[in-house]
Amino acid sequence: MKTSLECMACYLRQALQVARIATSDKEKHLKAVRRVSELLGSMDMEKTPPENSVAVYEALSLVTACRDPYLEVKQRSNEQALAVLPEFKEKIKSSKDPLAAAIRIAIAGNIIDYGAMHSFDVNSVMARCLKASFAVDHSRILLEKIRSLEKGDKVLYLADNSGEIVYDSLVVAELDGMGLDVTVVVKSGPIINDALMADALSCGMDRISHVLENGTSCPGTPLASCSPALLQAFDDADIVISKGQGNFETLSESQREIYFLLTIKCSVVAAHLAAISNTPCRVLSGNGELVLFYHNGKHDE
């Protein structure tokens, strides 16, 4: 999807938010907002919002002298998710369909997104999400696809945020238990609260899958900028599962089949998904709707 005018205001909001997290210096807060304002004038609106955000966050890093302002937030998110992980494992174990239960928990976990939202009570939001209906529900297609795979078939799982990646490990554990060859993809450098290699290792993802960096510091998966290793894994995969809004924004026009698991936290993304999934706009408002969307790569949804 392309960058919209609404994204401009979002970049400015994020600029002030990040500057305030990175430093208490109010002069730097103003400088950060002004620097990002300058970038908006030359921004390529044909690029996806995550691709354009790379320059925004590079500028903020220079102004604030802080490369990873969300580091402590990410660590707390991982710790919080790990604390409740045993409870969710029990829920999955007692479920009639453990794989479906794990997928629902992982989608609900996508609500942990400090780039799209301010602050909120993660536990209460997770509880609500676990009971909510899917706004777009292609879960049957995904479950059938997974169960049609043979042992050793390759699954590429594109991770999104820290904290959330702990919940992703529940899905990956189910896939690993089926004998599938799973590769989990994280970012190569810090960007917002996106998961890095350290986050994957903190929840033991390396014990149940291969973990691969995508070669970018983009809050998505822009294939044109990704590493050769990621591109090879993308092409070789028997199934691609994509987590999160940023990955959806960068891959929604991909030419291959992808299963998108996310919560919608932006009206622009909601409108784009409604259009390509033939979903009524009233169903998708961008207020945390749960989505499991099968993209067939043919642009005829």
Nearest alpha-carbon partner for 188 in 197, 179, 180: 197
pLDDT by position in tens, the chain (length 301)? 999 999 999 999 999 999 999 999 999 999 999 999 999 999 999 999 999 999 999 999 999 999 999 999 899 889 989 998 999 999 999 999 999 999 999 998 887 665 545 555 666 766 776 777 899 999 999 999 999 999 999 999 999 999 999 999 999 999 999 999 999 999 999 999 999 999 999 999 999 999 999 999 999 999 999 999 999 999 999 999 999 999 999 999 999 999 999 999 899 999 999 999 999 989 999 988 999 999 998 754 4
The total number of structural domains that make up the chain:
2
Q: 3-class DSSP state for residue 238?
A: coil
**168 and 255 co-located in one domain:** yes
Looking at the structure, tell me whether residues 145 and 24 fall in a common domain.
no
Question: Which pLDDT score is estimated for 127?
Answer: 72
Whether residue 194 sits in one domain with residue 153: yes
CA distance 192 to 114: 7
Q: What is the CATH number of the domain that holds 174?
A: 3.40.50.10880
Is 143 domain-assigned? Answer: yes
In a domain, 228, yes or no: yes
Do residues 60 and 75 share a domain?
no
Model pLDDT, residue 120: 54
Q: Which two tokens stand for residue 73?
A: 């937030």
Q: Does residue 178 share a domain with residue 56?
A: no
Alpha carbon distance 70, 88 (integer Å): 26
Q: Are residues 159 and 281 in the same domain?
A: yes
Residue 220 lies in a domain: yes
Amino acid at 30: L
pLDDT of residue 237: 98
Residue 90 pLDDT: 93
In DSSP terms, which residues pair with 186 in a beta bridge? 213
Of 64, 87, 113, the last residue of a domain is 64
Q: Are residues 131 and 241 in the same domain?
A: yes
Let me know whether 211 and 89 are in one domain: yes
Q: Is residue 300 in a domain?
A: no
Q: Are residues 80 and 135 in the same domain?
A: yes
Same domain, residue pair 18 and 86: no
Q: What is the pLDDT of residue 111?
A: 77
What's the domain range around 208? 71-295
Single out the residue in 49, 64, 79 at which a domain terminates: 64
Residues 221 and 181 in one domain: yes
Domain assignment present for residue 301? The answer is no
Q: Are residues 102 and 50 in the same domain?
A: no
Find the distance separating the first CA and the last CA of the chain, reported in whole Å. 15
Looking at 26, 42, 64, the residue that finishes a domain is 64
Does residue 23 sit within a domain? Answer: yes
Structural domain includes residue 22: yes
